[in-house]
Structure 1
Amino acid sequence: MTDGRERATGYADLFRLDGRRVAVVGGASGIGRESARALAAHGADVLVADRDADGAAETVRLALREMPAPGTSAGKVTARCLDVLDEAAVRAAVRDWGALDGLVVTVGTNVRKRISDYTAADFDKVLALNLRAYLTLVQAVAPGMAERGRGSVVGLSSMRAFQVEAGQSVYAASKAGLVQLLRTAAAEWGPRGVRFNAVAPGVVRTPLTDQIAEDPQWYDAYARASALQRWAGAGEIAGAVTYLVSDASTFVTGSVLTVDGGWTAVDGRYEPSV
């Protein structure tokens, strides 16, 4: 890329990731798995890191099927076992991975309780995975990217960072906190060429939402709440992740890309008779 006004590569290559190394942390299932598959399909070397070693290996198997035909540009996909709550293990893993062009973090958890029922242990569990793990990963990865003058970090927030409901207090707070953490990182490392952005999905069918999906009334209510009146598949979030890692978004940083089917736009889908 040239500085700001002219593009060194053609527009046909905007989303290509040939020669780029991208780590997907939380890649054993859900949005992380589909993001790894999408990144591999666009030519990236992908490291799939997760505490679930078997799930990460399955993601590698699926991602390899997305690779271009033999004789064309194709990256590699490998699995790494990683507990993101082990700070020393994270820093050691990042050293072992070497230079990264992109980092995608999709780890997260939720404890659905009203505030009056929340325990300190519940609070610590949600904040540890939804916020502290992201801080550790950013601290480990961003300096190396800054030394090379480039890099893109994408974190998975949620529409709950902006729009809440009963029982979502700490989860919503952690996702709002993640947005501000990434925005601050964008301010601190932006002058050295490193970008930080968040993707904020709406309701997506993943293992994290199994509790909701198993309740037909709950499932249907969530489907009706968005403009598209349905849930998303995890693969529908992968395009947003790929965009933010790629050269299609080189002037995008400190931003939140909302992928919620219009939920936050229509605010509950009440349609007056007008």
Structure 2
Amino acid sequence: MTAAGGGIGAAVAAGLEDEGAQVWRLDRRPCTDRGFISCDVSSDAEVASAREIIIAETPTIHHLYNGVGMLPPRLGLRLEEEDVKEWQTVFDTNLHSMVRVLGAFATSLSEDGSSSVVNMSSDQSLVPRGDALAYAASKAAVNAFTIGLARQWIPRRIRVNAIAPGAVRSGFIDAVAKTAERRESMFAHAEATLPLGLGQPEAAAELVRFLLSADARNITGELFRADSGQALMGIRL
């Protein structure tokens, strides 16, 4: 699991462990949880090192969750103000990390029908708001990657799906909020504005665990939107 040090990733990991699964948590943030490996998934060398540690103990992998995501360092820019280098950083984190991680573990995934991959997309991949173009474009690329890989891996009986959350109460919003006071104000606004309320990491994690489980054994190549009705109702936060 990537991005397992907090938010949705931590909730997914906790739920899987409660079900008795052995979980390996990859994150570049410090973490004391068991099975934690410090790993920057934008680095080929660090992903390769993490793979060696994991495969030495668990040679066969059944589930893989790609939860890493980042916003551009500057938001609200006009196109002519954008920096392509910043786009490259966003794409390397949001898309290329999935290619890197899945490529590293591809040959270790079981082909008995039990293996499942879930990639983290975003509501902005479907309805970009225009204030973070690199993020929206990278997540739209995640959707295409997910569907294409699902088709490629059908003969191997490995399922690949994605989820597209909207606003979720997690640390991801800190990059936008900057301060705790502003973060709580943004959360309160989302809770009051969204038809189904502000998303919770635990609810998104339940969807991920369902897609990883045998209950979803006939589902592959799908994108599941979980944005509390934001896109459906045309709401802009």
Aligned AA for 2:205? Answer: A
1:195 matched to 2:159? The reply is yes
- Aligned residue pair count: 225
Aligned AA for 2:70? Answer: T
Find the counterpart in structure 1 of residue 98 from structure 2.
Answer: 134
TM-score computed with the length of structure 1 as normaliser: 0.76
Find the counterpart in structure 1 of residue 70 from structure 2.
Answer: 109
1:48 matched to 2:25? The reply is yes
Higher relative contact order (CA 8 A, sep 6+): 2
For each residue in 1:168-227, what CA deviation from the matched residue of structure 2 results, as whole angstroms up to 9, or x when unmatched? Answer: 211000001001101111011111111111011010122221224816775555445532
Contiguous gaps of at least 5 residues in structure 1: 1-23, 61-76, 270-274
Contiguous gaps of at least 5 residues in structure 2: none
- Cα separation, partners in 2 of 1:246 and 1:149, compared to 1, 3 Å: closer
> Shift of residue 166 of structure 1?
2.5
CA RMSD in angstroms, aligned pairs only? 2.1
Query: Percent same amino acid at aligned positions?
Result: 26
Find the counterpart in structure 2 of residue 179 from structure 1.
Answer: 143
Find the counterpart in structure 2 of residue 39 from structure 1.
Answer: 16
Which runs of at least 4 in structure 1 moved beyond 6 Å after TM superposition? none
Partner Cα distance (1:148, 1:97) in 2: 20
Partner Cα distance (2:137, 2:114) in 1: 30
Decide which structure has the larger Cα Rg and report it: 1
Partner Cα distance (2:81, 2:190) in 1: 24
Secondary structure of 1:45 counterpart: coil
TM-score computed with the length of structure 2 as normaliser: 0.87
Find the counterpart in structure 2 of residue 234 from structure 1.
Answer: 201
For each residue in 1:79-120, what CA deviation from the matched residue of structure 2 results, as whole angstroms up to 9, or x when unmatched? Answer: 111110111321332243122110111111001232232212
1 or 2, which has the higher strand percentage?
A: 1
Find the counterpart in structure 1 of residue 3 from structure 2.
Answer: 26
- Cα separation, partners in 2 of 1:124 and 1:113, compared to 1, 3 Å: farther
